[in-house]
Amino acid sequence: MQGKDISIVIPAKNESENLKSLLPELVSLYPQAEIIVVNDGSTDATTAVCAQNNVKVINHVYSKGNGASIKTGARAAAGDIIVFMDGDGQHQPRDIPGLLEELDAGTDMVVGARNKESQASVGRLLANTFYNKLASWISGHKVLDLTSGFRAVYRQKFREFIYLLPNGFSYPTTITMAFFRAGYSVKYLPIVALSREGKSHINIFKDGVGFLIIIFKIGTLYSPLKIFIPTALCFFMTGVGYYIYTFITRHSFSNMSAVLLLTSVIVFLIGLVSEQITTLMYKDTE
């Protein structure tokens, strides 16, 4: 696969120290590739470091978020293939050929999946494990690393879902689930992520809740009945249980039981309508 067909997009916010070592290595290994650094409102020397290494830089006048930087880079990329990697030094340029080989083999998107040793902390490992299992259940596909920002993908297919991507750190979650729903193939390639230099920009609680919301949001787009049926079943079983309780204790059918049972029916019907809407949304996907 020729370097001239590849665009490497790197979102960066105050990562000048890490870029000092990352960019020269990328330029040396992939001299024909288009390298784009999206400077997300940095206050350090990010722009100067990019100029020193003769790579393209796109500046955000203020910080818009990691996902917004990814969208900016994807819109500007000229290569048929886009490689996304973080600017914090955790992703190794030497892993890029492995991603490209999997694309050559017929995969639509290849994700660098971090091993347990590559997780920043035990809390991050537990959170990512939970997200991976939840996403695997929703999508019906085994997800090894839902939140990895290191991936290679065909530009045209990635751009189909730009409108779905959030501006925050949960863009990998959204694009992975969207690819599964569209019937595109996603493969995981084991990688070792290095420890980053400097402080992470991810807020464990805020962004963790954001990831969870995005999973359910995409779940309703991907397979709504997997969300709505369990919810409807919970209301139904609670209503039946409460009816049995009131029948035994008071020999009556309470208003609360009626509300719970009716709610279960409404939730189920909403799920059916959502399923039909989802089908219509993806009917024109090539």
pTM: 0.78
Strand order in the sheet with 186-191: 56-60, 34-40, 6-12, 81-84, 151-154, 109-114, 186-191
Give percent of the chain above pLDDT 70.
Answer: 85
Q: In 15-92, at which residue ranges do the beta strands (DSSP E only) sit?
A: 34-40, 56-60, 81-84
CATH class of this structure's domain 3-222: alpha beta
Choice among 22-36, 202-216, 225-239 with the minimum mean pLDDT: 202-216
At residue 147, the pLDDT reads 83
- Give, in order, the Cα–Cα distances in Å from 111 to each of 164, 176, 185, 193, 197: 19, 9, 11, 13, 23
What rounded mean pLDDT belongs to the chain?
85
Confidence of residue 57 (pLDDT cuts 50, 70, 90): very high
H/E element, 132 = helix 122-139
pLDDT in tens, 216-271: 776 776 778 888 999 999 999 999 999 999 999 988 888 999 999 999 999 999 99
Where does the pLDDT of residue 283 fall: very low under 50, low under 70, confident under 90, or very high at 90 and above? Answer: low
Question: Does position 22 have pLDDT exceeding 80, yes or no?
Answer: yes
How much is the pLDDT for 2? 46
Which comes out higher in pLDDT, residue 282 or 95? 95
Residue 47: per-residue pLDDT: 93
Is residue 215 very low, low, confident or very high in pLDDT (cuts 50, 70, 90)? low
Residue 280, pLDDT above cutoff 80 = no
